[in-house]
Amino acid sequence: MAWWLRKAGIEGETRVQFRPVPPAMTEAASLRGHTLDVLGLGVRYGAFTALDNVGLSVRAGEVLALLGPSGCGKTTLLRTVAGFVRQTAGRVLIDGAGIDDLPPNRRRVGIVFQNYALFPHMTVAENVAYGLKARREAAPRIAARVAELLEMVQLGALRDRRPAQLSGGQQQRVALARALAIEPSILLLDEPFAALDRSLRLDMQIEIKRLQRQLGLTAILVTHDQDEAMSVADRIAVMRRGRIEQLGAPVEVYDQPATLFVAGFIGTTNRLPCTVDGMARLRLADGTPLPVPAGALPPGPALLTVRPEQLELRDEAGPGCFPVELGLALPLGGQTVREARLADGTPIRLTEPRLGAIRDLGARAFCGLAPGARPALFPRPTPEEE
Amino acid sequence: MSSAAALPAPRARGAAAPALSPWGLAAPLGLAYAAFFAAPLFMLFAVSFYADEQMTRFGLDQWRRFLFDSFHWKVIADTLLLGLKAVAATVLLGFPLALVYRAASPRWQRVLLFVVIMPLLTSVVVRTFAWIVILGREGVVNQLVLGLGLAAEPLRLLQTELGLVISLTQIEMPLLLLPLLSVMSRIDPNLMDASASLGASPWRTLFRVILPLAAPGLAAGCLLVFASATTAFISQSVIGGGRLVYLPSMIWQQAMIAAHWPFAATAAIALLVSVSAVIAVIAYAGRVAGGRVHG
């Protein structure tokens, strides 16, 4: 959880309500879940490529977040898995068996839609029973299962209400219960928290995570909100322009971004223009040498992406330090987010622990990498590549 | 009047502006309705209570004559049945078209909408005579049927109820489709996806999700078609001909040929009451369905 707490400090969000999932629940998981494999999936609409050779494997009992800006193909991927969109290339396998030729109603894939898509003409109980009735289960069994599911999402008292009479959070629980009623092999969550207000969103994230763990569900969460992806998902696939840019655990994606896009999309990042010289040493634009290994990067212009918490302020110049002019300070609880400018005007953001006196606006100071910080280094993109 | 009164009351902007009450604003239309709708309707009622053709004394003779003759009841039944057949035919053809419209791309939706509205852009008389050309002994349908060897002699379509229902179906179709399409296009497409993902077949989705949600629009469309088909005097007399007697043509005969105004007035009120009764039933059914959706 260390990465998470650190991030919470930077973003300064109200995370007080967060209650971690008890470890007992997490261990019971992953036995009943199903696996999902996506192989070389492509979706084209005429000249537009919505998905381009996407491959990923979701492990049993895992929550995988598809994270990316709008239009990156994450929803198309979800809809292809659900069977609403027919792929132009590639395969989708559940438990190793292809489901490409099955219509949506035979896939047993549960979906929670962004707007919940509850049937407005049915009561809460009828909504939850819908999938069971479609499977022609016996009436007593349906009644028992509906009662059980409504109990699980704590909506037993509202079973005869219509969706319009429910709050957003309640509607979402109905949508979840309805999707879970058919005992789906995979649960798809399409931006399920986007329509909820902030405090409720966190509650529902915990709720869904708890149920997912408890039931050992394999789930895919589509979101454009990185905090949501980080707090709910076991792994994150960052998508852009119909491709997966990086697939990994939240900490991995945050600490070791594979591309410049991922570095910028996840968390707050400072982009420091620098150069790799002939001896594989890294220098800032003003010539300050930085103690960062250039790795396999060829000599030439590069970009160093540094998280705000990877930088620290000093009063004295020192090796690897560069002068900055301090800007606004935002005290956020235990930490202060500080804006600053390099000598060439590049704006940066960094965090300071609130121990001593807060430095003045406009003061000059020196900035260096925090001990142990391992910022990511990328070749500097040409304007077209951005 | 009532619809104008239901609008929110306009607020007077400044003290100098004369305060216009909503009733004042509704007055011109209200007076027009009173003079040209309520008053003639009242006169129609009054005329029906004249006992004799010359309208010299009052009495219930015309009502007795109308209600105690089984022929008139048969005409009422035929008229209402014609309306129901037209409703059934428009729904059977129109609902699938509405489903196609839903699924179509915006460009095709515009094309379909134009095709749907087209009958409204031509006069009833022209449309009706066009159907004579199509349904007649030497008409398009019969030439096709004879040419393909499907029948030995021309089918009799004109002056039959079948021919009348066929032409009414085309003529009344826009009245069904316009309210239906507007309601259908407001149904969240995610609901169909949700239904499919829960394991429902397309048919189940149609009957359990689309149809209940489209019910208010469907009821409104049926109502318009029914009211229009039962009173479609021109189509009824031109395509139905003299052998098929419906209330509108009976009223016309009594008023214009027999010059028996009291009896024509009685028949007119019978038409008004019987059609309104069926409309009330359709509207009630639509409200029940709509209340379930929006309550």
The enclosing domain of A97 has a CATH number of 3.40.50.300
Mean of pLDDT values over B38-55: 92
pLDDT-derived band of residue B153, with 50, 70 and 90 as boundaries? confident
Partners of A134 on chain B (C-beta within 8 Å) are 195, 198-201, 204
**In this model, does residue B130 exceed pLDDT 70?**
yes
Is the domain of A253 the same as that of A272?
A: no
Question: How would you class A323 by CB atoms within 10 Å of its CB: exposed for 0-12, middle for 13-18, buried for 19 or more?
Answer: middle
pLDDT of residue A245: 92
Tokens of B50: 């004249």
Last residue of a domain, one of A262, A285, A312: A262
pLDDT of residue B2: 43
Domain presence at residue A2: no
Q: Are residues B199 and A135, on separate chains, in Cβ contact within 8 Å?
A: yes
Residue A226, CA distances (Å) to A41, A68, A191, A221, B290 in order: 24, 8, 12, 11, 41
Which CATH number fits the domain that encloses residue A324?
2.40.50.140
Domain presence at residue A63: yes
Is the domain of A204 the same as that of A282?
A: no
- The topology (CATH level 3) of B57-294 is MetI-like fold (1.10.3720)
**Which H or E run contains B284?**
helix B261-294
Provide the chain A residues 169-188 that lie in CB contact (below 8 A) with chain B.
178-179, 181-182
| Assembly ipTM | 0.78
- State the residue for tokens 């239906």: B180
Say how far apart CA A111 and CA A188 lie, in whole Å: 5
pLDDT of residue B234: 87
pLDDT-derived band of residue A131, with 50, 70 and 90 as boundaries? very high
**In this model, does residue A17 exceed pLDDT 50?**
no
Picking from B193, B194, B292, the nearest residue to A121 by CB comes out as B292
Is the domain of A76 the same as that of A129?
A: yes
Mean of pLDDT values over B37-54: 92
Q: Please, what is the angle between helix A168-181 and helix A139-152, to 10°?
A: 140
**In this model, does residue A75 exceed pLDDT 80?**
yes
Amino acid letter at A327? Answer: G
Torsion of CA A343, A345, A351, A356, to 10 degrees: 50
**In this model, does residue A22 exceed pLDDT 60?**
no
Say how far apart CA A266 and CA A263 lie, in whole Å: 6
Is the domain of A190 the same as that of A282?
A: no
Domain presence at residue A312: yes
pLDDT-derived band of residue A321, with 50, 70 and 90 as boundaries? confident
Is the domain of A227 the same as that of A282?
A: no
Q: Tell which residue, A372, A364, A259, has the closest CA to residue A309.
A: A372
Residue B185, CA distances (Å) to A178, A305, B87, B178, B207 in order: 25, 48, 21, 11, 17
Question: How would you class B243 by CB atoms within 10 Å of its CB: exposed for 0-12, middle for 13-18, buried for 19 or more?
Answer: exposed
Domain presence at residue A339: yes
Q: Are residues A134 and B198, on separate chains, in Cβ contact within 8 Å?
A: yes
pLDDT of residue A356: 66
CA–centroid distance for A84 within its chain = 23
Is the domain of A100 the same as that of A171?
A: yes
Is the domain of A273 the same as that of A213?
A: no
Structural domain spans, chain B: 57-294
How many structural domains is chain A composed of?
A: 2
**In this model, does residue A201 exceed pLDDT 60?**
yes
Mean of pLDDT values over A279-289: 80
Q: Are residues A131 and B292, on separate chains, in Cβ contact within 8 Å?
A: no
Is the domain of A253 the same as that of A343?
A: no
Q: What is the pTM of this model?
A: 0.78
Last residue of a domain, one of A262, A280, A303: A262
Last residue of a domain, one of A240, A262, A284: A262
Domain presence at residue A335: yes
Evaluated on CA atoms B77, B78, B84, B87, the torsion sign reads negative
CB B65 within 8 A of CB B53: no
- State the residue for tokens 């003061």: A363
Please tell me if residue A261 touches chain B, with a CB cutoff of 8 Å.
no
pLDDT-derived band of residue B213, with 50, 70 and 90 as boundaries? very high
Q: Please, what is the angle between helix B124-135 and helix B140-147, to 10°?
A: 20
Q: Are residues B193 and A113, on separate chains, in Cβ contact within 8 Å?
A: yes
CB A56 within 8 A of CB A244: yes
Domain that holds residue A316: 268-379
Is the domain of A318 the same as that of A294?
A: yes
Residue A38, CA distances (Å) to A33, A43, A297, B98 in order: 16, 13, 32, 36
CB A10 within 8 A of CB A268: yes
Tokens of B85: 């057949």
Strand partners, A39: A91
Please tell me if residue A164 touches chain B, with a CB cutoff of 8 Å.
yes
**Which H or E run contains A58?**
strand A48-58
**In this model, does residue A296 exceed pLDDT 80?**
no
Q: Give the lowest-confidence range in A12-21, A47-56, A97-106, B19-28.
A: A12-21
Domain presence at residue A274: yes
Is the domain of A93 the same as that of A153?
A: yes
**Chain B nearest-CA residue for A130:** B198
Q: Are residues B204 and A181, on separate chains, in Cβ contact within 8 Å?
A: no
Is the domain of A312 the same as that of A191?
A: no
- State the residue for tokens 């939706």: B109
Q: Tell which residue, B212, B180, B208, has the closest CA to residue B95.
A: B180
Is the domain of A256 the same as that of A284?
A: no
CB A262 within 8 A of CB A246: yes
- Among A342-356, B53-67, B73-87, the range with the most confident prediction by mean pLDDT is B73-87
Partners of A194 on chain B (C-beta within 8 Å) are none
